[in-house]
A and B are shown apart, each in its own frame.
Chain A
């Protein structure tokens, strides 16, 4: 892995857009695919290692949860005003798995193969009707590697976003974050239509940008850290879920 390979796709640590110029509008994450293979990304490798180190303090995450928290980190990068195309890899909604990033999946496999991550499969399902996914913990070797990588310029600018996403889990539970984030406008649309789609494109991102503009207005542009915005956004999506649930219960009636 070379530092230069993704330099052109990542803003430096001091390149966050001026708060007054934050417009939540860009050419969409599809621009990433122009110069970077979709199933391998050094940024994704760092993200997976960082997230597993952070999340496993609470519980060892599954690959599904890693995709979700990586997507949340990407959303926080967008909230900070960086274009989605700078994230370094893409996300898709491929129901029932959403969000999904081939780069995250590939990075996880490589990290397991390299001995940086340990995958543990919990005891099998009792009735063979459900799927039990592997949980992932970081090894000593992975921890040492992470310490080296997080000092690299190409990765250090990602830490604030990844940190906010993983630390937000302490206020809730992994399943709650996965369920709440499924009400993010693009994921919600994908789930309702049951169709695959690329996320964070120039076409699909408008509702997200509207939500982030409102969140920014409430918090104020001087708000520096990202844990509170991440938590409030998840709470907002939870509220959306609650409202959809109430509407559905009204439609269902009381005596089905």
Chain B
């Protein structure tokens, strides 16, 4: 990159950065307050499941805890967020108190008035995660996970893939997966949706899988390309993930689909993956490589390209319908469990 391109790139990032905005307005005191606030939020979300916060979580911290006071009615004081563990909470407001501890309400509409600058973290599950600075909301979450302040981290790839599949059963958060849909009801894919799926999976794993590097793999020499390559940093070991999708895809507004894939596509994907593993073994037999298949499944029963709604019976018909994979491939020592991420439509 040229020097001017580098400067332009950093300038753009700086203008989009809530950290830089906090510094611009409040200086170092603001950065200290921001780090403290987000540390509190992270701690809180280890005790209160973010998936339950459908009404919303609001956490408020003063920029200058020695000067700013906050006025409010009622509420309860806790010393540490662990005291909130075990409750089924869908709405919560927390004020970080100057002398330590927290004031809490089981509501997200508490009237808190401060006599000085504050920072406000706000989260509504599957709707928004933002930092409010001087009344202006700044987006926090740029990941495929629902809550950036509560991204699950894993030491095992299988655990990460299981969580990824579970989070995307109702695929609302990931902006990459959001770009795959041809329609607002999630009935069919746009043309060539695979790139968005790969991007979503790669970014999800980058944030969640410990002690590895995750990169897209491009074929070199005799090695055919696979979609995702995971390299363990502590030992010479890799995993490759092949991404496939099932369902229908086509241009928006077209009267017919351009591509339709049934379970046959998934089975072919597993065979293709086995072939990659054989090639990798021949090219470099010193690095053990495990293979995984990730299938994004948007099959809807009897769907037509002009259809705009679907009922639950047709929309969820394939929800519990795994492809019938060849046993000899599944039994390979270097073949991991195949994953299927069934992405539910919005049913009438």
Q: Footprint of B on A, CB under 8 Å?
A: 57-59, 62-65, 96-98, 122, 125-127, 129-133, 167, 170-176, 178-180, 182, 191, 210-211, 213-215, 217-219, 223-225, 227-228, 231-232, 235-236, 239, 241, 244-246, 248-249, 251-252, 254-256
A104 CB to nearest chain B CB (Å): 14
Check A96–B13 contact: CB distance below 8 A.
no
CB-based contact B233/A64 at 8 Å: yes
Among A130, A231, A235, A252, chain B packs the most CB atoms within 10 A around the CB of A130
Residue from A97, A126, A170 in contact with B38 in the complex, judged by beta carbons closer than 8 Å: A170
Q: Report the separation of the CA atoms of residues A236 and B9 in the bound assembly, to the nearest whole angstrom.
A: 8
Stretch among B76-84, B154-162, B300-308, B317-325 lining the A interface: B154-162
A179→B185 CA distance, assembly (Å): 34
Given A97-B233, A173-B207, does the pair A179, B213 have CB atoms closer than 8 Å?
A: yes
B125 contacts partner chain A, Cβ-Cβ < 8 Å = no
Q: How many residues of B contact A (CB 8 A)?
A: 63
- Which residues of B (203-231) have their CB < 8 Å from a CB of A? 206-218, 224-227, 231
With A97-B234, A126-B158, A251-B218 known as contacts, the answer to whether A62 contacts B211 (CB < 8 A) is yes
Q: Is the CB of B233 within 8 A of A96?
A: yes
B309 within 8 A of A: no
Q: Which one of A122, A172, A180 contacts B155 once the chains associate, using CB atoms below 8 Å?
A: A122
B316 adjacent to chain A (CB < 8 Å): no
- Residue B194 lies at the interface, judged by CB distance under 8 Å to chain A: yes
- Give the number of residue pairs across the A-B interface with Cβ within 8 Å: 171
Set of chain A residues within 8 Å of B227, measured between Cβ atoms: 252, 256
Assess whether A252 is in contact with B216, with CB atoms less than 8 Å apart: yes
Known: A96-B231, A129-B288. A211 touches B6 (CB 8 A): yes
Stretch at the interface among B15-23, B56-64, B166-174, B339-347: B15-23
Given A182-B213, A235-B17, A249-B195, check contact A58 B31 (CB 8 Å).
Answer: no
Other-chain residue from A174, A176, A214 in contact with B6 (beta carbon distance below 8 A): A214
**In the complex where A129-B290, A210-B6, A239-B9 touch, is A173 in contact with B208 (Cβ < 8 A)?**
yes
CB distance from B155 to the nearest CB of A (A): 5
For residue B14, CB closer than 8 A to chain A, the reply is yes
Interface bits B262-276 vs A (CB < 8 Å: 1, else 0): 000000000010000
Q: Given the known A-B contacts A171-B19, A225-B28, A256-B226, are A96 and B235 also in contact in the complex, defined by CB atoms under 8 Å? A: yes
Bound Cα distance A210, B3 (Å): 7
Q: Is the CB of B206 within 8 A of A179?
A: yes
A-facing residues in B81-122 (Cβ within 8 Å)? none
**B-chain residues with CB within 8 Å of residue A213 when the two chains form the complex:** 3, 6
Q: Is the CB of A228 within 8 A of B233?
A: no
Asked whether, in the complex, the Cβ of B210 is within 8 Å of the Cβ of A174, the reply is yes
Residue B10, interface by CB 8 Å: yes
Decide yes or no whether B199 CB sits under 8 A from chain A: yes
Residue of A59, A98, A129, A211 touching B233 (CB-CB under 8 A): A98
Instruction: Give the distance to chain B from A128, nearest Cβ to Cβ, in Å.
Output: 11
A132-B153 Cα distance, complex, nearest whole Å: 13
Report B162-196 residues with CB < 8 Å from chain A CB: 192-195
Closest 7 CB pairs of A and B: A214-B6, A248-B216, A254-B192, A218-B10, A179-B206, A214-B7, A249-B195
Chain A's nearest CB lies how many Å from the CB of B152?
Answer: 9
Chain B residues within 8 Å of A178, by CB: 210-211, 213, 233
When chains A and B are docked, how far (Å) is the Cα of A99 from the Cα of B235? 14
Q: Min CB distance, A219 to chain B, in Å? A: 7
CA distance A130 to B226 in the complex (A): 20
Expressed in whole angstroms, the Cα–Cα distance for A125 and B239 within the complex equals: 15
Q: How far is the CB of A25 from chain B (nearest CB, A)?
A: 15
Measured between C-beta atoms, what is the minimum distance from A233 to chain B in Å? Answer: 9
Q: Do residues B35 and A170 form an inter-chain contact, with CB atoms below 8 A?
A: yes
- Given contacts A170-B35, A175-B210, whether A214 and B3 have CB atoms under 8 Å apart is yes
Q: Is the CB of B23 within 8 A of A254?
A: no
| A126 neighbours in B (Cβ, 8 Å) | 156, 158
The answer to whether B280 has its CB under 8 Å from any CB of chain A is no
A contact residues around B242 at 8 Å (CB): 256
B234:A133 contact, CB within 8 angstroms: yes
Does residue B39 face the partner (Cβ distance < 8 Å to A)? Answer: yes
Q: Shortest CB–CB separation between residue A213 and chain B, in angstroms?
A: 7
**Does B50 sit at the interface, judged by CB under 8 A?**
no
Nearest CB in chain A to that of B151: its residue:
A173
In the complex, A170→B151 CA distance in Å? 11
